[in-house]
Amino acid sequence: MSNAPSHLRYTRSHEWIETISDDTYRIGISDHAQDLLGDMVFIELPEAGSTVSASDECAVVESVKAASDVYSPLSGEIIEINEALEDSPDLVNRDPYGDGWLFTVKATDSSELDELMSADEYVALTNEE
């Protein structure tokens, strides 16, 4: 069974969302997702300052097995990206909820958070898979 910290929220497409402040959120991919994809070899991140809409493809995680799109769970502006991933994509494998975070969004519509799953719901989903 995969590890999904209870203070995070999750999407069906395996992103996690951490609340940083009132309207800023940090995004990454779940432990389950990194485990399925295997060793990361390349991470393509959005540009800081760009705007995204919820469920837009905004990053790509590429492993030895597959290249997979990452969808922004929220609409808003990308305010920070994890530049360490450029040299160390394996951070996503080693520490998916910590040093392996992908980007931070300043959200424009916090009601989009209601669409997201709790850790329990997410774990139930991954157990079905």
Partner 1 sequence: MTRNTIDQPQDGVIFEKSHRGRSNSCQAPQLNASETTAPLSIPASLLRKSAPLLPEVSEMQAVRHFTRLSQKNFSIDTHFYPLGSCTMKYNPRACNTLAMLPGFLNFHPLAPVETGQGFMACLYELQEILKEVTGMKAVSLTPMAGAQGEFAGMAMIRAYHDARGDTARCEVICPDAAHGTNPATAVMCGYKVKEIPTRADGDIDIEALKEAVGPQTAGIMLTNPSTVGVFERRITEIAKIVHDAGGLLYYDGANLNAILGKVRPGDMGFDVIHMNLHKTFSTPHGGGGPGAGPVGVSERLTPFLPVPMVDYRGDQYRWLTRKDRPQSIGQLSAFAGNAGVLMRAYIYARLLGREGMPRIAEYSVLNANYMMVELQKRGFDLAFPSRRATHEFIVTLKRQAKRLDVTAMDFAKRLLDYGYHAPTTYFPLLVPECFLIEPTETEDKETLDGFIDAMAKIQHEAETQAEMVRAAPYTLPSRRLDDVRAARELDIVWSSKE
* Residues of the shown chain interacting with partner 1 in the complex, contacts defined by CB under 8 A: 36, 39, 41-42, 64-68, 89, 129
Q: What phi and psi values does residue 16 have, to the nearest 5 degrees? A: -110, 155
Of residues 36 and 119, the one with the C-beta less far from partner 1: 36
User: 39 or 109, CB closer to partner 1?
Assistant: 39
Q: How far is the CB of 126 from partner 1 (least distance, A)?
A: 11
Q: Do 54 and 68 form a contact (C-beta atoms < 8 A)? A: no
Which residue's CB is nearer to partner 1, number 20 or number 36? 36
The minimum distance between CB 91 and partner 1, in angstroms, equals 13
**Distance in Å, CB of 110 to partner 1, minimum:** 26
Q: What is the DSSP letter of 22?
A: S
Taking the least distance from each CB to partner 1, the nearer of 19 and 55 is 55
Q: What is the CB neighbour count within 10 angstroms for residue 102? A: 26
Report the nearest approach of partner 1 to the CB of residue 99 (Å).
17
Q: Check if the beta carbon of residue 104 is closer than 8 Å to that of residue 26.
A: yes
Q: Which residue has the tokens 């990206």?
A: 81
CB-based contact 84:106 (threshold 8 Å): no
